[in-house]
Structure 1
C-alpha cells in the first residue's frame, strides 16, 4: 500500500469550518465524556495542528464520530477517540494487518485495520483504552472492533478484538487474516 504524502493531508477552509462545527456540537452534546475540558482550548490546539484536523476528518468520514475523551497533563494533548455507537461503518470487513492481508490466497478484504489507521494518521485503541472508552457509554453492542494486538499473540498468527455484551467488555481472539461485516476498529488521536 502506498502511504499518503503529508502534502495531501490538508482540508479546505470550508471543510475545516464544517468539521469544527460537527466536533463542537458533539462535544457539547456529550459533556460526560470530557468533564472539566473546555472546547475553546481544544479548538485552539486544533488550530495549530492542520494534519490532526485532516485525521479527524478521516475519522468522521469513515463513521467514527470522534470526540474528546481525555487530556494528557504531561504532553498537554487532548485525546480524540471514535465514539460511534457501533464500530465505524467505513472501516468494516477488514483484516488485522498487512501481513494478514498478504497471507490470504483468495477473498482478500480491501484493507487492514493497521494500514487504514496508519493511512489516517491515527492508532488502534489498545485493549486498556477500549475498556476505558466503555466507561463513557456502551459501544459495540452489535459489532466488534480490532484492538492493538500484543506482539506475542500476533507472532503466533492471532489478533484480538473487543465488544460490549451483557453489560461487560469481552476480549476475543481470531486469526489476523479473518474479517467480518460487523468488525472494524476504533482509533485514537492525540492533539
Structure 2
C-alpha cells in the first residue's frame, strides 16, 4: 500500500513536460510577481525535486494556477502560491478541517481544506501570506478562501477565511464545519 501512494505521486515524463511548459508560460506572463528571478533556475530546482512537481501538478489540476511569488535567499527556496483569480474551483465546497467534517451529521461536504492541502503536499496560506498575495495582484474578488486559523479560534469551533473587496483584504469567521460553493482555499509550496 505504501508503494502504491509513492507511485501515485510521480508524474510521467509527458506530465512533467506539460506542467513545466504551463508554469514557464505563467511565469513569463506575470513577471511582476517575481521580479529579478530567472525561469531557468526555477526549472532546475523543480526538476531536482520530483515530489514537488507532483504537488504543483495537484495545485494546477484543482484550478490553483500556481506561480512563483518569492525567493528566500537564506533558505535558497522558491515559493509558489495559488494565483488563480478566484479561489481554486477544484477545492471549493469544503469545510475547514477533519474535526469539522466529522462533526457534521447531515449534508457533509466531500472533504476538508486542511485534509486536501495535506494530501496535495502543500500548506494552506496564513492570513499574513494571504495579505502578501494581494500585493502581487487582486485575488478572490468574488470568492473567499479558508486560511490557517489560530488554535484559540479553532478550539471554540470557528475558522477564518479571507477575501478581497473594495481594495482591502477582509478577514471573517465562520463555523469550521460550514462550506460554500464560493469558498475554497489557497495553498503554497516551497521548492
TM range (shorter): over 0.9
Aligned twin of 2:91: 91
Q: Within 2, Cα distance between the matches of 1:152 and 1:166? A: 29
Q: Within 1, Cα distance between the matches of 2:56 and 2:88? A: 13
Query: After the TM superposition, which residues 2-17 of structure 1 pair with which residues of structure 2 at under 5 Å, given as runs?
Result: 5-17=5-17
- Whether 2:138 is the aligned partner of 1:169: answer no
Q: How many residues of Structure 1 are paired with residues of Structure 2 in the alignment?
A: 189
Report the CA distance between 1:75 and its aligned residue.
Answer: 1.2
Aligned twin of 1:79: 79
Runs of at least 4 residues of structure 1 off by over 2 A? 4-7
Report the CA distance between 1:5 and its aligned residue.
Answer: 2.5
Q: Does the residue aligned with 2:130 lie in a helix, a strand or coil?
A: helix
Q: Within 1, Cα distance between the matches of 2:146 and 2:10? A: 27
- Whether 2:150 is the aligned partner of 1:146: answer no
Aligned twin of 1:186: 186
Q: Within 1, Cα distance between the matches of 2:74 and 2:6? A: 27
Normalised to the residue count of structure 2, the TM-score between the two structures is 0.97
Aligned twin of 1:65: 65
Q: Within 1, Cα distance between the matches of 2:41 and 2:153? A: 39
Normalised to the residue count of structure 1, the TM-score between the two structures is 0.97
Report the CA distance between 1:46 and its aligned residue.
Answer: 0.2
Report the CA distance between 1:8 and its aligned residue.
Answer: 1.8
Q: Within 2, Cα distance between the matches of 1:124 and 1:139? A: 15
- Whether 2:128 is the aligned partner of 1:125: answer no
- Whether 2:114 is the aligned partner of 1:114: answer yes
Report the CA distance between 1:7 and its aligned residue.
Answer: 3.2
Q: Within 1, Cα distance between the matches of 2:62 and 2:5? A: 19
Q: Within 1, Cα distance between the matches of 2:58 and 2:155? A: 30
Gaps of 5+ in 2: none
RMSD: 1.1
- Whether 2:20 is the aligned partner of 1:20: answer yes
